[in-house]
Amino acid sequence: MIRVSVVGAKGRMGSHVVDAVNGAADTQLALALDAGDDLKAITPENTDVVVEFTVPAVSLDNVLALVAQGVDVVVGTTGWTEEKLARVREAIAAGPRPESQKVFIAPNFAISAVLADHFSTQAAKYFESVEVIELHHPNKVDAPSGTAIHTAQGIAAARAAAGLGPVPDNTQTDGGSRGQVVDGIHVHAVRLRGLNAHEEVLFGNAGEQLVIRADSFDRGSFMPGVLLAVRKLAGDAPAGLTIGLDKFLDL
């Protein structure tokens, strides 16, 4: 049995992870912690893998603490920047298990979103225009979504590798309607009661359009991906920091 501790266990995602861990035949819940609890309770003696779904403001500190305690971590929380990722790599190198420590961070665990991201990166070099729209429940604290940032970054990298220039845009005045620009790609965020997690990537050429869309209607859609990551970290995932569920899929 893989012993799994959950940090952020009372949250929307954390509570689903607790249920998923309790419901799977090969995992068992070790500790379920939330704000105010002492992370030091999680040790290699009681936990094989920690799953961390909290808030962007605290996730880095949680991961650094867990790495210092020598436990492997699956992270679903958003808000990761290159600077924060560098801090995690440094912590692994300076931690108690530099050769075997595993940390896995995924902007999205739903297969539909991972594939939409993957297909968007593939499509990127064939289109002059592209914009990303993400749509979420209004309780979400960050905008744009971590997934949308990741998608935009992947599209921008693919465009750069193909030698494409900037997307065409003759906007002369903008009060914010053109969205946030991530690596040159415009990203728009919608918050609407009734929605869960959705992303649409619009590609355009003269006379044609491609739309790639992923819809997660229920948080249960993230759980197979979370359990896959837990099993990979308890199994043959490489040591060090790994980013993106696509690394564990045969894409």
Ligand X SMILES: O=C(O)C1=N[C@H](C(=O)O)C[C@H](O)C1
Positions in the binding site for ligand NAI (CB under 6 A):
7-8, 10-14, 33-35, 53-56, 58, 62, 76-78, 106-109, 142, 146, 222
Binder of residue 58, out of ligand NAI, ligand X, none (CB less than 5 to 8 A by kind): ligand NAI
Is 136 marked active-site?
yes
**Annotated catalytic residue: which of 16, 102, 136, 150?**
136
The conformation of residue 166, written as its DSSP 8-state character, comes to P
* DSSP β-bridge partners for residue 132: 187, 201
**Annotated catalytic residue: which of 84, 125, 140, 247?**
140
What is the closest distance, in whole angstroms, from the C-beta atom of residue 20 to ligand NAI in the complex? 12
What is the closest distance, in whole angstroms, from the C-beta atom of residue 77 to ligand X in the complex? 9
What is the closest distance, in whole angstroms, from the C-beta atom of residue 194 to ligand X in the complex? 13
Binder of residue 154, out of ligand NAI, ligand X, none (CB less than 5 to 8 A by kind): none
Binder of residue 10, out of ligand NAI, ligand X, none (CB less than 5 to 8 A by kind): ligand NAI
Distances (CA, A) of 185 to 85, 153, 225: 22, 8, 27
Contact residues for ligand X, defined by CB under 6 A = 78, 107-108, 136, 140, 145-147, 197
Cα–Cα–Cα angle for 57, 9, 68, nearest 5°? 60
Binder of residue 179, out of ligand X, ligand NAI, none (CB less than 5 to 8 A by kind): none
Please report, as a single letter, which amino acid is at residue 81: T
What is the closest distance, in whole angstroms, from the C-beta atom of residue 106 to ligand NAI in the complex? 5
d(CA 64, CA 53): 14
Please report, as a single letter, which amino acid is at residue 167: V
Burial class (CB in 10 A: 0-12, 13-18, 19+), 75: buried
Is 140 marked active-site?
yes
| Best CA proximity match to 57, nearest among 79, 25, 35 | 79
Q: What residues form the annotated binding site?
A: 8-13, 34, 76-78, 106-109, 137, 146-147
Q: What residues form the annotated binding site for (S)-2,3,4,5-tetrahydrodipicolinate?
A: 137, 146-147
Q: What residues form the annotated binding site for NAD(+)?
A: 8-13, 34, 76-78, 106-109
Catalytic residues: 136, 140
